[in-house]
Amino acid sequence: MRITALLLGGFAALGDTICASAAAAQTGADVSGRWQGTWAYQNASLGSGQITMTLSQRGSKATGDMIVTGAPVDRSGAVTVLVKSNNVYFVYPKGITAYLTVSGDEMKGQFAGMNPGNVVLKRQR
């Protein structure tokens, strides 16, 4: 009986550890705060500009506002970000999808579309 109780207690503790680790892995990087940086089309002749963004994160989802300068079409406005590990996926209602990687206070990667480009953002402290 004592061995069964010890085994069950051990499995319960292991289950708590696995659940806590899974929750931490799902949330991933913290992207809350103010970010500033640049964007540029891969075809440099199409343009480039600045990005300023403020995000508020809850779990694996962050929302906020983004100001984009230099774009031929206005891309400023609300933004939704999904975070998994250190990967960040921007889902933007005005037609931008971006895939970035967070490393400390830097986020960089690419936005997709007919004219793909690169993004580099730094968290402002």
Label residue 80 exposed, middle or buried (CB < 10 Å: 0-12, 13-18, 19+).
Answer: middle
Check the CA dihedral 73-77-82-83 and report its sign: positive
What's the whole-number mean pLDDT along residues 72-95?
Answer: 87
What's the whole-number mean pLDDT along residues 68-81?
Answer: 90
Q: How confident is the model at residue 34 (pLDDT cuts 50, 70, 90)?
A: very high
Q: How confident is the model at residue 71 (pLDDT cuts 50, 70, 90)?
A: confident
**Alpha-carbon distance values, 24 to 12, 60, 72 (Å):** 18, 10, 39
Domains of the chain: 33-124 (2.40.128.20)
Helices (H), the chain: 2-27
Out of 67-71, 87-91, 92-96, 110-114, pick the least confident.
Answer: 92-96
pLDDT of residue 97: 86
pLDDT of 100-112, one tens digit each?
Answer: 999 999 999 999 8
Mean pLDDT of the chain: 82
Buried b (16+ CB within 10 A) or exposed e, 3-27: eeeeeeeeeeeeeeeeeeeeeeeeb
Q: How confident is the model at residue 23 (pLDDT cuts 50, 70, 90)?
A: very low
Give the type of residue at 25. A
pLDDT of residue 61: 95
Q: How confident is the model at residue 13 (pLDDT cuts 50, 70, 90)?
A: very low
pLDDT of residue 19: 40
Local structure of 43: helix, strand or coil? coil
Return the structure tokens found at 118. Answer: 């690169």
pLDDT of residue 9: 43
